[in-house]
Structure 1
Amino acid sequence: MKRTLFILLRNPLSVIGLILVGTVVLSAIFADFIAPFPSHSGAVVDFANFNKAPEWPYIFGTDLVGRDLFSRILYAYRISLLLGVVVLAVAVPVGVTIGLVAGYVGGWTEYVLMRVTDVFLSIPPLVLALSMMGLLEPTLTNGMLAVTVMWWPWYTRLVYNLTRSEKEEGYVLAAEVIGASKAHVIFREILPNCVPSIVTKMTLDLGFVILIASSLSFLGLGVQPPTPDLGSMVADGAKYLPDSWWLTVFPGLAILVAVFGFNLLGDALRDVLGAEQ
């Protein structure tokens, strides 16, 4: 841990990534305490302060019904991170397990599993998610389901390639010689050596999941009002550019900060974990 932290802190870009990700995560966790108007995260109207430009105490301005944008962005971060964590918590185990089994077992098992994976990979991710959301009711749960369905194949392909390479290594052959079961070889021998690549991809993917979820909400197929969501906030504010610029600029910057931070941190982890292999 000390060595990893030392390497991360030597790279200015990784430090920036840590700061940005830390800011996003802490803002989401402590939104109830940081937000100046916590009630504005729900169905609240304040027409006396509607569409105000940034000024104290509305440092990011207010929307068309008088809700504080800064407070709503903090709670939107909570929704975005929740979606990202749930999606990866489901997609990663599914994709990793399929990739391990297909890569190690081989034969018809490999052929069937990887052809199914290739079918999903052949469809553009956003198109697949849009198709599913067009059939389902646009809710947070269905949004998670749509993004999860499009995400597991990428982990299957990654782990499949890693497993094909690792299964010829000496430590795997030694485990097979002493009579270790296939399950033991897959999950106790091969999987630990795939973890660095999986962790790096998960960190990078958190930013992309937030971006995809925001894209769905921008098109009206994601989280529905009055729940705050960065994509829907950008879509609503875009109608009033350039006069009410703050309605779009600040939610857009919030998306940029989250995606940029996770990308920088993912790149840094790739360098660190690669150095430790």
Structure 2
Amino acid sequence: MKRTLVILLRNPLSLIGVILVALVVLSAIFADFIAPFPEHRGSVVDFVNFNKAPNATNIMGTDLVGRDLFSRIIYAFRISLVLGVVVLAIATPIGTLVGLFAGYVGGKTEFILMRLTDVFLSIPPLVLAIAMMGVLEPTLMNAMLAVTAMWWPWYARLVYNIARSEREEGYVLAAEVIGASTPHIALREILPNCLPAILTKMTLDMGFVIIIASSLSFLGLGVQPPTPDLGSMVAEGARYLPDSWWLTVFPGLAILIAVFGFNLVGDALREILGADQ
């Protein structure tokens, strides 16, 4: 704990990252209490106040049907974080197990698992997600599945490289000598040494997942209206630039804050855990 505080205080950017992530997470959790117009997260219409520039009542202005932009951005944070957590909660275990057993077992297992990983890695991530969403109905659940399908190979490759270098270490050889099973060695001996790198990558990937999800929504393939989503809000407002600049600028800044914060926290976590990626 003391070392963590020293690192954060020594590096102002790390502290800024923690503050930004805390603001995003707390806003998402307590959106119902923070948002001045919580009902505006849905299909509310208020044509009396439509397309208003930022003012004392609506600090970020209103959208084309009169909904408070600040309230919708706060709820959009919740959608982005839920998507990111679910994607990483599915992709990380899958990729970790694939990389772990490929790196330790070797032989045909290594060849099959890593060639499958290479197939997925050879396809540009956003292209794969767009292709999947072109077939599936554009819903939040399908968006999660599309992003997950493109994310697990990166964890497989990361853990594979670590496991392959660790399998000749003395503690692994000692476990083999006393007759420990393959699952025991992989999960109880090698995996703990992979965790710092995995945790660091997960933190950094939260920002990238938000970008990919926002990109899908920007193209109309992600979360659908009236559910607030940062990418779809940017896309909707882009048609009315530069006159209604707030429709695009504020959702874009929200994406920037979230991604920048998680990247800074990831860098700090890498230093704290001593993860070398």
Q: TM-score range by the shorter chain?
A: over 0.9
Q: Which residue of 1 aligns with 2:116?
A: 116
* Equivalence for 2:144: 144
Q: Which amino acid aligns with 2:6?
A: F
Residue aligning to 2:32: 32
**What is the TM-score of this pair, normalised by structure 2?**
0.98
Deviations 1:81-100 (A, max 9, x none): 00000000000000000000
Match status 1:67 vs 2:67: yes
Number of equivalenced pairs: 276
Residues 104-152 of structure 1 deviation map (CA, whole Å, 9 limit, x = unaligned): 1111111000000000000000000000000000000000000000000
> How far 1:153 moved relative to its partner?
0.2
Amino acid at match of 2:133: M
User: What's the secondary structure of 1:53's corresponding residue?
Assistant: coil
1:233-272 to structure 2, matched below 5 A, reads 233-272=233-272
Q: Which residue of 2 aligns with 1:94?
A: 94
CA separation of 1:63/1:160 partners in 2, compared to 1, >3 Å: closer, same or farther? Answer: same
SS in 2 for 1:67: coil
Distance 1:186 1:3 in 2: 30
CA distance in structure 2 between the partners assigned to 1:16 and 1:207 by the alignment: 15
Q: Does 2:164 match 1:164?
A: yes
Partners of 2:88 and 2:31 lie apart in 1 by: 23
What SS does the aligned partner of 1:21 have? helix
- How far apart, CA to CA, are the structure 2 residues paired with 1:186 and 1:66? 56
* Paired position in structure 1 for 2:128: 128
The match for 2:103 is 103
Q: Which runs of 5+ in 1 are unaligned?
A: none
Distance change in 2, residues 1:131/1:193 (3 Å): same
CA RMSD of aligned residues (A): 1.0
Give the AA of the match of 1:99: G
Q: Distance in 1 between matches of 2:263 and 2:133?
A: 27
Q: How far 1:56 moved relative to its partner?
A: 1.2
1:9 CA displacement: 2.6
Q: Distance in 1 between matches of 2:34 and 2:50?
A: 22
1:32 is paired with a residue whose SS is: helix
**Structure 2 unpaired stretches of 5+:** none
Does structure 1 conserve the Cα–Cα contact (< 8 Å) formed by 2:133 and 2:146? Answer: yes
Q: CA deviation at 1:5?
A: 3.0
Deviation at 1:229, TM superposition (A): 0.1
Aligned residues with identical type, % of pairs: 80
CA contact (8 A) 2:196 2:275 kept: no
Tell me, in whole angstroms, the C-alpha distance in 2 between the residues paired with 1:5 and 1:101. Answer: 36
One-letter amino acid of the counterpart of residue 156, structure 1: A
TM-score normalised by length of structure 1: 0.98
Shift of 1:266: 0.5
Residue identity matched to 2:40 = H
Contact 1:8 1:272 in 2 (8 A): no
Which segment is superposed worse, 170-179 or 199-208? 170-179
Question: Helix, strand or coil: the match of 1:55?
Answer: coil
The Cα offsets for residues 3-59 of structure 1, whole Å up to 9 and x where unpaired, read as 223322321110010011001000100100000000000010000000000001100
